[in-house]
Amino acid sequence: MSDFVNKTVGNVIKETSGRYPENPALISPQFQIRQNYRELYDQCRKTARGLLALGIQKGDHVSVWTTNVPEWVYLQFALGMVGGVLVTINTNYQSHELEYILKQSDSTTIFLIDTYRDTSFYDTVRKIMPELDASAPGNLVSAKLPLMKNVVYIGSKENTPGMFKFFDLIKMGEQVTERELDDRMSALSDDDVINMQYTSGTTGFPKGVMLTHHNIVNNARMVGDVMGMTEKDSLLIQVPVFHCFGCVMSTLNSVYHGSAMVILESFDPKIALETMAREKCTAVNGVPTMFVNILNHADFGRYDLTSLRTGIMAGAPCPVETMNQVNTKMHCSEIVIAFGQTESSPVMTMTRRDDPVALRVATVGRLLPDIEGKIIDPETGLDLPADTQGEIVTRSACVMKGYYKMPEATAHTIDQDQWLHTGDLGVVDKNGYFKVTGRIKDMIIRGGENIYPREIEEFLYTNPKVANAQVIGIADKKYGEQVLAAVQLKEGETATPEEFNEFCKGKIARHKIPRYWEFLREFPMTASGKIQKYKLKEMFEKKYKES
């Protein structure tokens, strides 16, 4: 019996606000926002009427390029009410990447904030659309982006030629009746695409993953059920909301379960500690490096985190030591690991709250209810027995509709039997616990031997000097590929290639010992905290080709 629910994103917030109107819903300390579910739903409706006044039709693509500001949440649910497709844009993007996404996604509208870190979003958008200066808001005619009509600015700048202000949008919405909005809401189907997430591009050009209301509502439901989320919980959201971790596993999960969203504009360990203690958060989501930074903060001991209970760690493997400290020092005894990918809305497997620590570190858990998964031979496509490495594939009502305007890439990823090919290598044990052992594309073939970087990385972590290790293959005339290890040493440590060669000798097979050693201070990252191996590869292939 399937537990899948057939609800639109707009219906989810409508039902929750009906059930828990006075419960805390959105707390954004950096913007002095504190709303209960009745107030949040009202604000989302005002935003939705503004979108209707702007002329947003069902199926129109609306890009949002902001940090975790309150307006992001209003837009997520307002677009869910009017049927506009939310195109999420990575806050680390620069002009070239932004232009690519706005064009590839056929966006008609973009919402943006002023600046983030050292990037002026405002100037970047004006660089791509110089016509804004001479346009009336809503009448943009852009040479580079012929479909782009509306630019909406969120911030305090007085003079923004060619752009609406978010405040104007709310004002315009007053001309639209509540009835018109209700009619639009009832005209939507949960099978409509509502989110377009661009894959973070650890492998080059981003692809627009089309996710439906059905996909993300059900994934958020299952994820929160595994965490044990209820209307009594409050979740610290410090992961970027433009990513599935933020907008499905965090915001939508909270709203589905009636929990409070406590949102930070961007990750900062000190602000995270202050906020969790002050707001008495019961849950916290993050990638392992966020937890490491929180635990290692000089003021960690000054904050009372005893309210914490659960949370999700995802996006990268979690070191044992980190998991133990999150369980004990942070009081998150029920923290779980999640694994998935954007194409699956995103979560496929999770550890359970009562799993022993060993399982929560060594595996990515079991399949969520109603989600199928198995291991196949990447060459033949045949199913493999337990404890045999192969490709992880999954099938469920959470699998994307496809990549936007990329039918070949879609057909390559989802086969005729509707299995989504993840490109991840893994094994599953007889109890149904999955382990991820690497990426198929990361596999190194050296002189005919298959080498899996993850195995060497795990081994290098046993060296007490190593903080992080990434293993890649670089082109080699004689062997086809050679193994290179990029190592980040712990603070204050020094090391030599010779020392690391000695460390490997007799412990791992000779052909797996890296030919090249590089010591790095930091790794190229995606905004969601994943290391971009292809950038390391480009960097070092160039270096060793020239040497």
pLDDT tens, position by position, for the chain (547 residues)?
A: 468 999 999 999 999 999 999 999 999 999 999 999 999 999 999 999 999 999 999 999 999 999 999 999 999 999 999 999 999 998 988 898 899 999 999 999 999 999 998 899 999 999 999 999 999 999 999 999 999 999 999 999 999 999 999 999 999 999 999 999 999 999 999 999 999 999 855 445 689 999 999 999 999 999 999 999 999 999 999 999 999 999 999 999 999 999 999 999 999 999 999 999 999 999 999 988 899 899 999 999 999 999 999 999 998 778 788 899 999 999 999 999 999 999 999 999 999 999 999 999 899 999 999 999 999 999 899 999 999 999 999 999 999 999 999 999 999 999 999 999 999 999 999 999 999 988 888 888 888 777 888 889 988 999 999 999 999 999 888 888 999 999 999 999 999 999 999 999 888 888 899 999 999 999 998 877 778 888 999 999 999 986 6
Q: Domain limits at 95?
A: 10-188
CB 206 within 8 A of CB 200: yes
Map residue 45 onto helix, strand or coil. helix
- Residue-wise pLDDT tens digits, 237-249: 999 999 999 999 9
Does residue 420 fall inside a structural domain? no
User: Does residue 535 fall inside a structural domain?
Assistant: yes
Domain count, the chain: 2
Q: Output the DSSP codes for 379-423.
A: TT--B--TT--EEEEEESTTS-SEETT-HHHHHHHB-TT--EEEE
* Side-chain-facing half-sphere of 505: CA atoms under 13 Å: 6
CATH number for the domain that contains residue 135: 3.40.50.980
In a domain, 421, yes or no: no
Ramachandran region of residue 49, left (φ > 0), alpha (ψ -120 to 50) or beta?
A: alpha
Q: How far apart are CA 321 and CA 309, in angstroms?
A: 18
Non-local CB neighbours of 402 within 8 Å, separated by 6+ positions: 210, 410, 414
- Let me know if residue 299 belongs to a domain: no
pLDDT in tens, 2-38: 689 999 999 999 999 999 999 999 999 999 999 999 9
Domain stop point among 188, 203, 231? 188
Last residue of a domain, one of 138, 172, 188: 188
d(Cα 207, Cα 209) in Å, to the nearest integer? 6
Distance CA 194, CA 48 (A): 14
In a domain, 79, yes or no: yes
Phi-psi region of 302 (alpha: psi -120 to 50; beta: other; left: phi over 0): alpha
The CA distances from residue 24 to 33, 97, 345, in Å, are: 11, 37, 26
What is the b/e burial string over 272-282, where b = at least 16 CB atoms within 10 angstroms of the residue's CB?
bbbbbbebebb
Mean pLDDT, the chain, rounded, equals 94
CATH code for the domain in which residue 521 is found: 3.30.300.30
Residue 515 included in any domain: yes
The residues, any chain, with a CB within 8 Å of residue 504's CB and separated by 6 or more, are 459, 512, 513, 514
> Does residue 340 sit within a domain?
no
> Domain end: 158, 188, 218, which one?
188
Reading the block at residue 153, the tokens are 């600015």
pTM (2 decimals)? Answer: 0.88
In a domain, 138, yes or no: yes
